[in-house]
Structure 1
């Protein structure tokens, strides 16, 4: 996808931010209208301060882990403030773009505008994507060992058909993520040219014509990333992997901590919530709405309603406030200041008449 100042600002326009917010809040509003009871307010007031504190702590740990990881993966080329801006903009992009697109499409451009060479920025984003996918590939078998029979939600009278469809979709998603992670690992560390040639051959198939440009670009990006990452030592990959596991475990644990603030959960219940969260996130990946707005709110009761009953709708709202709307608000403050800084800097460079290198020129066409 070609990215430049104009297209980035268009992606983060007020209209594109307001629409998913209205969609998500409309769904929650309707659910509250259908399910609200006066005693729910009493339950909200009686929330456990300890578990609410743990929820915010886990949220902070997750974000700090992301900030630490991007600073480490970029080999401290970013300051702590720059790392914070990059992660908040990355989260902002994930919230403002459809889940099937995701924030990674603009992440390399964001790193490039923070004065990281284009080749390195592509490599570093691909490394984070690889580590994220590998966590999912390894975590799914582990959690399903503990909660296989109950990991899929019951969906009332429609449960047999929908449950089968959900299981099939989850299985297909898991296989695709596994294949993609395997292909990326092979390309980055073993034989990038072979994978590049494979992707180019696939792009030549007639029905793949629509994605030919994307496949060709991805093939080149894998080759670039491999050149930058194959010489990293064991310590680099160990720390990057540990921080990834740390971040994603916290990300999936947030719902369990929040639910525990309003009802008693055993250790087995926490494991069940964790396992269902993995499947819940796969469902949200299929959404075509920005940040899975609407689908996230509708699907939440099916996965976690058994723990909360009629209070589920309130938790949906709190959960989305902390993990979705919060980052839209932060991003709305960070993005204008960040854009003013990095793009004004680029204009100053242009006005000096300094020659633009080939790598920089490519920066507007990621």
Structure 2
């Protein structure tokens, strides 16, 4: 795998923070304009939030970030220091925030790990296994939350046509199918039989109208084999820690919204289960968003899922949710990026 440093730094560009901000503000403005239930008075509801749930939201968010740092250090076999792990996570989150989810940021993540002293083959393996486990959480949790939510996952207005031209349930099932197929194939390729996967890729790209993709298929096959070789021989405790930390990270991420909504409303246990379940659907749908960090798309889908249940507090909950889970990583990444660049390149001298 060739890492184009210029391309990576084009992605890790602090000036790019304004692009997703414009998307997000644009959609929020659109929702404010077209929704008659959203008024200036609604915005003042943000000052009515109960302090305990808000504090819990920040605590859960902090716990999630600690989980991320712990997991990347565990995945690398503790080759990264705690400080390096923090840098990696912040910059990885920043890269995800300024690039479309559907594009992904594998090259950026590999580059960051390499600059923290991880060799190319290992960096590639660690990035792939992180993506596989994150996607597996969605693949496994989606059927479970369908059962938990007992048919109340999609709001009644979800059948309206969205800006993407599809109903929300259709968008979810298409997203889920694509993610499930991709994740299961990649998990098999990396963890079971990489040689067979490479052979299939080369056979497929031997078809006349697919031949132009053959060089990419050859490179992808080699990357999978390298990653598989680096992960071979890991003991059960290694996989258990990664599995547990992944479950903790994403569960904490979703629980944060439960805390935010509880700050403005009084929800019972069943309603909290529905809120949690709907977030799995929202995040799976966001994974195919064409906008940087799903900016704009996230705000719009949130409004479609929760406005019937939350009423007047939907707008402030939406803003609070994105202010806590998205925008901090834009600005934090932009702030520490120059310091990280000076640190890793000075280390090489």
How high is the TM-score relative to the length of structure 2? Answer: 0.91
Instruction: Tell me, yes or no, if structure 1 residue 221 matches structure 2 residue 223.
Output: yes
**Take 1:313 and 1:185, find their aligned partners in 2: how far apart are those partners?**
39
- The question of whether the paired residues in 1 share the 8 Å contact of 2:43 and 2:315 is answered with no
Q: Which residue of 1 aligns with 2:76?
A: 74
Q: Which residue of 1 aligns with 2:104?
A: 102
Instruction: State the Cα distance separating 1:41 from its structure 2 match.
Output: 4.6
- The question of whether the paired residues in 2 share the 8 Å contact of 1:153 and 1:163 is answered with no
Deviates more, 1:24-33 or 1:238-247: 24-33
- The question of whether the paired residues in 1 share the 8 Å contact of 2:254 and 2:279 is answered with yes
Gaps of 5+ in 2: none
CA deviations 1:6-55 (Å, max 9, x no partner) are 22221133443212112211222343355543543553222111111111
- The question of whether the paired residues in 2 share the 8 Å contact of 1:36 and 1:310 is answered with yes
Q: Which residue of 2 aligns with 1:258?
A: 260
CA deviations 1:249-277 (Å, max 9, x no partner) are 11122222211110011111111111111
**Take 2:283 and 2:211, find their aligned partners in 1: how far apart are those partners?**
30
**Take 2:212 and 2:340, find their aligned partners in 1: how far apart are those partners?**
34
How high is the TM-score relative to the length of structure 1? Answer: 0.87
Q: Which residue of 2 aligns with 1:5?
A: 5
* Residue 286 (structure 2) aligned to one of 284, 287, 291: 284
Q: Which residue of 1 aligns with 2:170?
A: 168
* Residue 150 (structure 1) aligned to one of 149, 152, 156: 152
Gaps of 5+ in 1: 349-366
**Take 1:189 and 1:208, find their aligned partners in 2: how far apart are those partners?**
26
Instruction: Tell me, yes or no, if structure 1 residue 45 matches structure 2 residue 75.
Output: no
CA deviations 1:148-206 (Å, max 9, x no partner) are 5221232278379x998433332233233222232223223322100111122233334
Q: Which residue of 2 aligns with 1:60?
A: 62
Q: Please, what is the CA RMSD of the aligned residues?
A: 2.3
In structure 2, relative to structure 1, the CA distance for the partners of 1:105 and 1:148 (3 Å cut) is farther
In structure 2, relative to structure 1, the CA distance for the partners of 1:164 and 1:25 (3 Å cut) is closer
- How many residues were matched structurally? 346
Q: Which residue of 2 aligns with 1:29?
A: 29
- The question of whether the paired residues in 1 share the 8 Å contact of 2:60 and 2:256 is answered with yes
* Residue 138 (structure 2) aligned to one of 128, 136, 139: 136
Q: Which residue of 2 aligns with 1:359?
A: none
- The question of whether the paired residues in 1 share the 8 Å contact of 2:45 and 2:316 is answered with no
Q: Which residue of 2 aligns with 1:236?
A: 238
